């Protein structure tokens, strides 16, 4: 997949991995559209990203997604890359009586259902292009769940599964499906889960560009590669390694 001269929509592009990815793609001569819920944050991001287009849009709102798709159809009908990056995590431990299912429902909705919906709605646009791609941002925890982020891990495992089937379903079309699986990354998102020890978002963005160029569809950035190798040998060992548990 070429990484220049594309028109790319990045959900959640005003911070972290999305922002670094927008920067990297702009530097390679792509048209880039970023979304986010907070207009001010998008404005601040745009100040660092000359030429970027911004659209205020919440992936978890059906109305907002319909408006976004309409804007893409009219203003950017040449869109050929969708990067499903927006997502969040709620840190909690499984404790009886805490009604964590209420948060779980929202988390699954944003991280999984919203990705399925936006992808489905944009497939007709992507299908019109000679070469297109969908990039789903999942996580190392799709392979080995984290103790303090149970639903988040499950949402990324669901998206991992969906990405495989999407790839299979689109195998005879012009649309390639990539899955970006970062380990811990130092962003606002990860501040509450030890993110300061994570890798820089720029490392993730560069890995995505290089992998797309080489048509590497499962992108195991940094420590994700180690967990993946361990998983093939022993899922329990991978789970323990992920959570610092000694057998
Ligand atoms: N950081 C990590 O350690 C890590 C590791 C593996 C995978 N990931 C994944 O990487 C992706 C990006 O994470 P990040 O660390 O870069 O997060 P981040 O620094 O918190 O940035 C998240 C971006 O998404 C936007 N956003 C959040 N909820 C949104 C919504 N409902 N609709 C539209 N935009 C929304 C935010 O802007 P607004 O708040 O203004 O909407 C912001 O631009 C996520 O899918 C995350 O699960 C992160």
Looking at residue 98, its pLDDT comes to 86
Catalytic residues, by residue number, are 152
Q: What's the total number of domains in the chain?
A: 1
In angstroms, the CA 74 to CA 55 distance is 14
Domain carrying residue 199:
7-242
User: Which mutation among 11, 15, 65 tests ligand 1's pocket best, with the greatest number of atoms within 8 A of CB?
Assistant: 15
Residue 50 lies in a domain: yes
Residue-level pLDDT at 192? 81
pLDDT at 106: 96
Residue 138 belongs to some domain of the structure: yes
How far does the centroid of ligand 1 lie from the alpha carbon of residue 207, in Å? 18
Query: In degrees, to the nearest 5, what angle opens at C-alpha 25 toward C-alphas 191 and 14?
Result: 35
Q: Is residue 247 part of a domain?
A: no
Q: What is the pLDDT along the chain (247 residues), one digit of tens a residue?
A: 999 999 999 999 999 999 999 999 999 999 999 999 999 999 999 999 999 999 999 999 999 999 999 999 999 999 999 999 999 999 999 988 888 898 999 999 999 999 999 999 999 999 999 999 999 999 999 999 999 999 999 999 999 999 999 999 999 999 999 999 999 999 998 888 888 999 999 999 999 999 999 999 999 999 999 999 999 999 999 999 999 999 7
The predicted pLDDT at position 123 comes to: 98
Task: Confirm whether 155 is domain-assigned.
Answer: yes
CATH number at residue 209: 3.40.50.720
pLDDT at residue 141, rounded to an integer = 98
C-alpha torsion 196→199→205→206, nearest 10: 150
For residue 19, the ligand 1 atom closest to its alpha carbon is 43
196 assigned to some structural domain: yes
pLDDT at position 177: 98
Is residue 97 in a domain? yes
Long-range contacts at 111-114 (CB < 8 A, ≥ 24 apart): 111/87, 111/152, 111/155, 111/156, 111/158, 111/159, 112/155, 112/158, 112/159, 112/162, 114/59, 114/60, 114/65, 114/86
The protein residue with its alpha carbon nearest to ligand 1, atom 48, reads: 185
Contact between 92 and 148 under an 8 Å Cβ cutoff? The reply is yes
Judge whether 45 lies within some domain.
yes
- The token duo for 29 is 């001569």
Q: Is the pTM for the entire model greater than 0.85?
A: yes
Residue 11 forms part of a structural domain: yes
The whole-number pLDDT of residue 96 equals 87
């Amino acid at each position: 997949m070429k990484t220049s001269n594309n028109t790319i929509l990045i959900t959640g592009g005003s911070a972290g991995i999305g922002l670094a990815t927008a920067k990297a793609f702009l530097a390679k001569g792509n048209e880039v559209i970023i979304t986010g819920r907070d207009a001010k944050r998008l404005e601040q991001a745009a100040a660092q990203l000359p030429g970027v287009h911004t659209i205020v849009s919440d992936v978890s709102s059906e109305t907002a997604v319909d408006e976004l798709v309409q804007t893409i159809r009219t203003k950017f009908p040449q869109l050929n890359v969708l990067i499903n990056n927006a997502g969040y995590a709620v840190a909690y431990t499984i404790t009886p009586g805490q009604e964590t299912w209420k948060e779980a429902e929202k988390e699954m909705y944003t991280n999984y259902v919203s990705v399925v919906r936006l992808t489905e709605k944009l497939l007709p646009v992507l299908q019109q292009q000679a070469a297109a791609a969908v990039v789903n941002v999942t996580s190392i925890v799709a392979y080995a769940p984290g103790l303090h982020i149970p639903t988040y891990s499950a949402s990324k495992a669901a998206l991992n599964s969906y990405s495989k089937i999407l790839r299979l379903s689109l195998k005879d079309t012009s649309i390639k499906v990539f899955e970006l699986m970062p380990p811990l990354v130092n962003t606002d998102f990860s501040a509450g889960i030890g993110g300061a020890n994570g890798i820089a978002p720029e490392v993730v963005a560069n890995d995505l560009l290089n992998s797309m160029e080489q048509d590497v569809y499962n992108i195991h950035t940094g420590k994700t590669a180690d967990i993946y190798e361990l998983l093939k040998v022993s899922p329990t060992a991978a789970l323990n390694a992920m959570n610092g548990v000694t057998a």
